[in-house]
Structure 1
Amino acid sequence: MLTLGKIDHIHIRVGDVAAALKWYQRVLALTPDTRYKTDGEHNAAMLVNSSGSVRLAIGEDADAVPSSQGAVAFVVGGQDFVEWIDRLAGERVTNREGQSIARDSVRDHRFFCALSFVDPFGNPFEIVSYDHTWLVGKLKLGGQLAV
């Protein structure tokens, strides 16, 4: 049977690659993957996390319009989820509505928790954890069920 493997990378379009690289490195701890070289024709860079399990291709497109349909979602464990909330809050990252990320930004989806945010160009992201029971107790979630 024909199947797909894992996702290799996701393309993210931004208005300024240099500014985006700084943000993605500082906020999401992604670094340039040195195996990929810019060929001069495209102003783009491949970013990777420390384990090599996440790769984002950041490309410059002055006319890029952020998606209103979906988001790139990263999955983490419960403790890491809590640490990501604090990291994003400390970096003054916002959600689509322009509100700063905080612990009350977490949405309870009944069997997982999610934290939605955008990069400086409006590209949507989520951090998700399936350590639901632990997170509900740790974050004292209640009444924030997402539909």
Structure 2
Amino acid sequence: MRSLGKIDHIHIRVSDSARATDWYSRVLGLSPDARYRHMQDGPHGVIMMANPSGTVRLAISQEDGAGAISGAIAFVVNGQDFLEWIDQLAGERVLNSEGQTIARDSVRDQSFFCSLSFVDPFGNPFEIVSYDHTWLSGKLKLAKRAPV
């Protein structure tokens, strides 16, 4: 039976990522997680910050005029549940942020995890994440990413 595992991370949009990184580090005791360093590059770079045990993760991204939480809530599941969530969301005709119905080709290969982003009827963003990357890559026939 499909079930959500736990919250994987929460996206936080900020107007100054350096100042935010400092604040989350100083005030909340979070630090950048080196495993996600590859996600910092590009126009929509993300700094994944975590507590020492890795049980709390915030994905910090810089965006002009940002200030309130307006990002996605991400849930982590195992590989089999990830496949079932794709089918469930597709069956319910759930849309992604571009207005396209979720399907197996909606899965994003993030190098060591897979993600599926979607919105609720009000436009609130959510994400299902699975770290069963190798298994899912085979099941979904994901194309290998070029090294960065």
Contact preservation (8 Å) 2:73, 2:127: yes
Aligned to 1:132: 133
Deviation of 1:130 after TM superposition, in Å, equals: 0.2
Structure 1 segments (4+ residues) deviating >3 Å: none
Deviation of 1:122 after TM superposition, in Å, equals: 0.1
Deviation of 1:70 after TM superposition, in Å, equals: 2.1
Q: SS at the partner of 1:82?
A: helix
Aligned to 2:112: 111
CA-based RMSD of the aligned residues comes to 2.6
Deviation of 1:143 after TM superposition, in Å, equals: 5.4
Aligned to 1:92: 93
2-structure distance, mates of 1:116, 1:68: 17
1-structure distance, mates of 2:144, 2:97: 21
- What are the superposed Cα offsets for residues 50-102 of structure 1, whole Å, 9 maximum, x if unpaired? xxxxxxxxxxxxxxxxx895200000000000000000000000000000000
Q: Please, what TM-score do these two structures have when normalized by structure 2?
A: 0.51
Deviation of 1:3 after TM superposition, in Å, equals: 7.2
2-structure distance, mates of 1:89, 1:143: 24
Aligned to 2:143: 142
Which structure's relative contact order is higher, taking Cα pairs within 8 Å and 6+ residues apart?
2
- Which residue identity is paired with 1:136? S
Would you say how many aligned residue pairs link Structure 1 and Structure 2?
83
Q: CA 1:107–1:144 in 2, change beyond 3 Å: closer, same or farther?
A: farther
2-structure distance, mates of 1:144, 1:98: 25
Q: SS at the partner of 2:84?
A: helix
Identity of aligned residues (%): 75
Q: Please, what TM-score do these two structures have when normalized by structure 1?
A: 0.51
